[in-house]
Structure 1
Amino acid sequence: MKNLPWAVIVVAGALLASCSSPDQPENEVAATEVQPHSGGQSAVTDDQSQKNIVQVAAGSADHSTLVAAVKVAELVDVLTNAGPFTVFAPINEAFEKLPAGTVEELLKPEKRSDLRNILQYHVYVGVLNTDRFEDGQSLGQVNGGRVTMGVNGDKITVNGATILASIPTSNGVIHVIDQVLLPQ
Structure 2
Amino acid sequence: MAFLAFSSFTLFSCASSNTTAMEDMSRTETSAMAGMAMDEDDNQLNVLVVEEQVMVPIATLAPTALLMENPEDINDMFDAIDDTENYTVLELARKSPNLTTFVQLIERANLADDLERVEKATLFAPTNEAFAKLPKEKLEMLLRSDNTALLSRILQAHILASEVSTARFNNSTRISMGEDRYIPISTNNPGNTIFVGSAQIVRNDVEASNGRIHVIDSVILPDQDVREGNDIR
What TM-score bracket applies, with the shorter chain setting the length?
Answer: 0.5 to 0.7
Identity, in percent, stands at 34
Q: Say yes or no: does 1:177 pair with 2:216.
A: yes
- Size of the aligned set, in residue pairs, is 136
Within 5 Å, give how 1:112-131 maps onto structure 2. 112-131=148-167
Q: What is the distance in 1 between the residues matched to 2:105 and 2:181?
A: 19
CA contact under 8 A between 1:93 and 1:178: conserved in structure 2? yes
Question: Does the C-alpha gap of structure 1 residues 182 and 124 become closer, same or farther in structure 2, counting only changes over 3 Å?
Answer: same
1:40 is matched with which residue? none
What do the CA deviations read for 1:114-164 (whole angstroms, capped 9, x no partner)?
10010001111111101011113112369x962211110311111121111
Deviation track 1:60-105 (CA, whole Å, cap 9, x = no partner) reads: 1111110110111011111112431111111011100000143343
Contact 1:134 1:149 in 2 (8 A): yes
Contact 1:52 1:170 in 2 (8 A): yes
Which runs of 5 or more residues in structure 2 are unaligned? 1-84, 224-233
Bigger radius of gyration: 1
Q: Secondary structure at the match of 1:147?
A: strand
Partner of 1:158: 196
1:168 aligns with 2:204: no
Q: Are 2:99 and 1:63 aligned?
A: yes
Aligned to 2:28: none
- TM-score for the superposition, normalised by structure 1: 0.68
Other-structure match for 1:72:
108
**Tell me, which stretches of 5 or more residues in structure 1 are unaligned?**
1-48
> RMSD of the TM alignment (CA)?
2.1
Task: Select between 161-170 and 66-75 the one with higher mean Cα deviation.
Answer: 161-170
Q: 8 Å contact 1:94–1:178 — kept in the other structure?
A: yes
Q: Which one has the bigger strand percentage?
A: 2
Structure-1 separation of matches of 2:177 and 2:91: 22
Q: TM-score by structure 2 length?
A: 0.54
Q: Deviations over 1:6-65 (max 9, x none)?
A: xxxxxxxxxxxxxxxxxxxxxxxxxxxxxxxxxxxxxxxxxxx71111111111111111
Q: Higher helix share goes to which structure?
A: 1
Of 91, 106, 125, the residue aligned with 2:127 is 91
One-letter identity of the residue aligned with 1:156: I
- Mapped contact 1:72–1:107 kept (Cα < 8 A): no
Task: Find the counterpart in structure 2 of residue 27 from structure 1.
Answer: none
